Structure 1
Amino acid sequence: MAYFDHAATTRLSEQVRKAMDRHLREIYGNPSSLHTPGIEARKTINSVKNRLAEHFGVTRQNIIFTSSGTEANNLALKGMYFRHPDAQIVTTTIEHHATENSVRFLERIGCKTAWIRVDRDGFIDLDALKQALKRDTSLVSIIYANNEIGTVQPLKKIIPLVHEHGARLHLDMVQVPLHQAIDFPALGVDFVTLSAHKFHGPRGIGCLIARDPALLEPLIHGGQQEFHRRAGTENVATMIGFLTAYEAARAQAKTHNAHVDQLSHYLIEQLNLKAFDYRLNGPDLDHSRLNAILNIGFKDHDAQHLAFQLNRHGIYVSLGSACDSDNIEVSHVLKAIDVPKAYIRGSMRISLSDENTYEEIDHLLKTLETILHET
C-alpha cells in the first residue's frame, strides 16, 4: 500500500492510541459531576488545555474544543455573524467547503459578504481585499495553507489591511501543525481553526483558538462547557489524543519537513526526467507553499480514471478535498486559479508525510507511466 492522501487524514499514531486508551479505561466520569471520577475528568481537561495553551501562547480560556475543523470554522463564521448581524464577512474563492458553504448559508439569511479572487498560484489579491474591506466588516476568513494546492498566504501583508479596518481575522490552519508551530500571539490574528486527525490524532475533535471568545454566539446550547461557547459533555479521550498528537508533531517537525521536502523534490524531478506532460497547480516548490501538498494535472487525461487505476494497484491519491468526495465536478479551487482546460480534469492531489518512502514514489511513477500510456 502507498498512501498519498495525508491532507485528507492521517493514520492515528500508536502513541496517541495508547494515551487515549488509558483514559478511556480509567477516566470515565462526566467532567461536570462533582464526585471523584468527575473531578478527575475535569482536572484532566484543565491539564490538557493548560499544556496546549502553553504551546499556542494563550490561556486555556482561549481554546474551544469542537467536534472537527469544520465545526470550528462554522463557529467562527456563524458565531461572529449571529453577534454582529449587520456586519460584512469577507472570504476568498479557494476556501475549504467548511468555510465556503458556511458563508453561502449566511448569505441566504441576509449576511453581507465579499469574495476575494486569487491569482494563478492561489495567492489572495491584496488590492481586491483592500477594496472589499469596509468599516462594517466584522470578519475576514482565509485558509492559511490551502488543502488542495498547498498555497500559503502572505499574512504579513494581509493582517495590517484587515486590522486597519477594525475587522477580525480568522485562519483555517488545519493543514499546518505537521509543518509549523501554532504561535497565536506571533500570528497576530483573532481566530485559528485546527483539527487533530490532520496530524496523526483522532477524528472527532478540532478546536478554535479565539483571542476573545465573547465575540462569538454559541452554535450549540445546553450546559456551560467550553466556557459557555460549546455545550455538550466533553470527550476527554480525544482531548488527550489532540494534545499527544500535537506535541508529537512539534517534536518531529524538523525531520518530518526535511523528509517531505526531499520526497516532493524527488517526485517533481522524476516527472521531469520521464517527460510526463504535467502541470503543478499552485506555486512552485519552496515558494510560499506546503511542499507536502502537490496538485498535479496530467494533460488530456481524466483524474477519476487515473485515481481508480492507481487504487487498483494499492496507490491512494485524492481528486481534491476529501470532504467533497460525492461531488464529481471540477474543484472550485482549480477553477479559481484558472488551471488550463487541458490539465484541469486530469488533476489529482498527492499529499505526503514522513511515512512515505522513495520506493513508494517510484511505485507511483512507474504505475502512472503505465496507466498514461494505456489511455
Structure 2
Amino acid sequence: MSIVGPETRLGSLPGAQQLEPHPGLAGGPIYLDYNATTPVDPRALDAALPYLTTHFGNPSSSHHYAERPRQAVARAREQLAALLAARPQEIVFTGGGSEADTLAIRGAALAQPRRQIITQPSEHPAVLQACASLEADGFAVTHLPLDRHGRVRPADLQAVISERTALVSIAYGNSETGTLQPIAELAAIAHAHGALLHTDAAQAVAKVPVDVTRLGVDLLTVVGHKMYAPKGVGALYVRSGVELAPLIHGGGQESGLRAGTENVAFIAALGAAAEIARQELPDSAVRLAGLRDLLQHELERLLPGLITLNGPPGERLPGTLNVSIDGIAHLGARRLLAAIPGVAAATGSACHEGVDAPSPVLLAMGLPAERAISALRLTLGRWSTEPEIRHAAQLIAAQVTRLHAGDVAP
C-alpha cells in the first residue's frame, strides 16, 4: 500500500493543512494521541446539533416530528456505507466499538452450531474479552502467533482452522504499532472452511481505504471517536445473509440487531465524519504518512543510534509511529512522557495506560521486555502540523538527552 510506505516524505504531500485550529487543542500540549481518541470535527458537530436542538423526535414514530430524525439516520447509513463500499442495509449502528465487537463475535458464534473462535493476542480488549466470554460458555478459542512486525501469517491460520471454526476475528490495523493485517488472505482461508471473518477496523476506517468487498469480510467494526465523530457511537458492517444473535433485545431497531431508540445526533455526526473521510482520502493518508516519517526521522537525527522502530516499515497506518528509545528502560517510557508536559502521547493502547509494564502487544511480537517498556506510541491526525511534529521531536529528544547525561530524572 504505497500511501503508507516508508518512502513517503513531507515534500510529496498534496498541500498544507487548510483546517482552522481545533478549539479543543488551543493552548494545550502537542497532541500525539489520535489513536486513543480524535477531536470532534466541527463539521461533524454541525451535523449533530439540529438533532439536539430542533429535530428532537423519535425516528421510529409515524408523525411529523419523526421525519427529519428518520431521514438523518438513513442519510448517515448511506454515508457510512459509501465510505466502506457497502450497502446501506448492511450498516448497524451501535453505542460504540466495544458493543460492535461484542455483537460481531458473540452474535456470530451464538447464531450457529460451530464451537471454535480464532483470534490473535494483539486485539483490542473488547475482542479478547468477548472471546473469553465465549470460552466460558464452552467454545474453544485459539490465539494465532504474531511475527516480529505484529502480523498474522496466513499459513498459521490455515494450520488451525477447521470445520468447527465459527469465526475468525483479526483487527485490520493495530492501535499501537499501526500494523496492517492481510485481511483479504485471511478472509479467503476462513471462507474456504465455511467460517466468518470479522475485523475490528476502528483504527483503519477513515485513515486508509476500506472496501468490504475487496477485503472479503463478513463483519467490520467502525468507531465514531476514532474518526472525528463523538464518543458513544459506532457501527457494525454485517454482510447481507450473515446471521447474528442480537445482544440487546427490545423494540427491533437496526433490523432487530440492536434495540433502543437511535442516538440520532451522534449517528448524524458519524455519517458526516464518514462523508468527510471519503472526500479527503487518500490525500489525508499521504499527508499523515509524511508527517509520521518526518517525526521518525527527526527523532533518529536528534537521538542517533537510540531509536528503534516497532512494527513494519511499510504496511502500517499512516499516522502511527511506535519507537523504542535505548537507555530508558530503568525508568520506562510512561515516566519519560510524564516529564515532557509539552507533549500529550502514550506508551500503548489507552485501555492499558497508567500501568508500568511492557505492552502486551509488543511482547506478543517477540520484543524483549526492556525494549517494550521503552516504547512510545506517537499518533498523528487531522490537526497535526509540520511545526508541531518538529517541536515534539525536539522536546522528546531534549528530555532523553538530559536523562542520558544524568542531569534529571522524571
TM-score, length-scaled by structure 2: 0.86
Assess if the C-alpha contact under 8 Å between 2:208 and 2:317 holds in 1.
no
8 A contact 1:300–1:342 mirrored in 2 = no
Map of 2:358 onto structure 1: 330
2:224 equivalent in structure 1: 196
Q: Work out the CA distance in 2 between the residues paired with 1:37 and 1:327.
A: 49
* Counterpart residue number, 1:294: 321
Structure 2 CA distance for aligned equivalents of residues 271 and 147 of structure 1: 21
CA distance in 2, matches of 1:30, 1:354: 33
Q: Does 1:72 find its partner at 2:100? A: yes
1:121 aligns with 2:149: yes
**Residues in 2 aligned to 1:91 and 1:371: alpha-carbon distance in whole angstroms:** 39
* Structure 2 Cα separation of the partners of residues 308 and 2 of structure 1: 13
Task: Provide the secondary structure at the position in 2 that maps to 1:215.
Answer: coil
Q: 1:166 aligns with which of 187, 194, 198?
A: 194
Matched, 1:102 2:130: yes
Tell whether 2:341 aligns with 1:282.
Answer: no
What is the Cα deviation at residue 71 of structure 1? 0.8
Give how far 1:293 is off. Answer: 0.8
Kept in 2: contact 1:62–1:213 (CA 8 A):
no
Residue 352 (1) aligns with residue 380 (2): yes
Measured at CA, do residues 181 and 221 of structure 1 come closer, stay the same or move farther in structure 2, by a change above 3 Å?
same
The letter for the 1-side match of 2:316 is R
Q: CA deviation at 1:57?
A: 3.2
Instruction: Find the residue that maps to 1:65 and give its secondary structure.
Output: strand
Match of 2:167 in 1: 139
Distance in 1 separating the partners of 2:259 and 2:355: 32
Aligned to 2:18: none
Which runs of 5 or more structure 1 residues have no equivalent in the other structure? none
- Local SS of the residue matching 1:150: coil
Q: SS state of the match for residue 117, structure 2? A: strand
Conserved 8 A contact 1:85-1:111: no
Alignment counterpart, residue 235 of structure 2, candidates 204, 207, 221: 207
1:1-375 correspondence to structure 2 within 5 Å: 1-84=29-112, 86-212=114-240, 215-274=243-302, 275-284=304-313, 287-301=314-328, 302-310=332-340, 312=341, 314-375=342-403
Alignment-mate amino acid for residue 308 of structure 1: A
Offset at 1:214? 5.3
Deviations 1:57-97 (A, max 9, x none): 33332111011111100100111122235421100121111
Which residue type is aligned with residue 289 of structure 1? R
Contact 1:159 1:189 in 2 (8 A): yes
CA apart distance, 1:370? 2.2
- 2:311 partner letter: G
Query: Distance in 2 between the 1:59 and 1:290 partners?
Result: 25
My pick for the range that moved more, 124-133 or 240-249, is: 124-133
> What is the root-mean-square deviation of aligned Cα atoms in Å?
1.7
Q: How many residues align?
A: 371
**Amino acid aligned to 2:308:** R
Give the deviation of 1:263 after TM superposition: 1.2
TM-score using structure 1 length: 0.94
1:122 offset after TM fit, Å? 0.7
Q: 2:351 is paired with a residue of what secondary structure?
A: helix
- The answer to which of 323-332 and 256-265 deviates more is 323-332
1:327 positional shift: 4.1
Kept in 1: contact 2:100–2:234 (CA 8 A): yes
Q: For 2:83 and 2:277, how far apart are their aligned partners in 1?
A: 12
Larger relative helix fraction: 1
In 2: Cα distance, 1:213 partner to 1:163 partner: 14
The structure 1 segments of at least 4 consecutive aligned residues displaced by more than 4 Å after TM superposition are none
Structure 2 gaps, min length 5: 1-28, 404-410
Q: Does structure 1 retain, via aligned residues, the 8 Å contact 2:320–2:378? A: yes
Do the aligned residues in 1 keep the contact of 2:208 with 2:282 (CA within 8 Å)?
A: no
Contact 1:120 1:337 in 2 (8 A): yes
Q: Is the 8 A contact 2:173 2:201 kept in 1?
A: yes
- 3-state secondary structure, aligned to 2:49: helix
Structure 1 residues 212 and 326: alpha-carbon distance in aligned structure 2, compared to 1, 3 A threshold: farther
Q: Distance in 2 between matches of 1:226 and 1:215?
A: 14
* Cα separation, partners in 2 of 1:255 and 1:235, compared to 1, 3 Å: same
Task: Work out the CA distance in 2 between the residues paired with 1:197 and 1:142.
Answer: 20
Which whole-Å CA distance do the structure 1 matches of 2:338 and 2:354 have between them?
A: 15
Question: Per-residue CA shift, 1:314-363, capped at 9, x if unaligned?
Answer: 21101111123354432211110112333211111000124212221222
The structural deviation recorded for 1:227 is 0.6
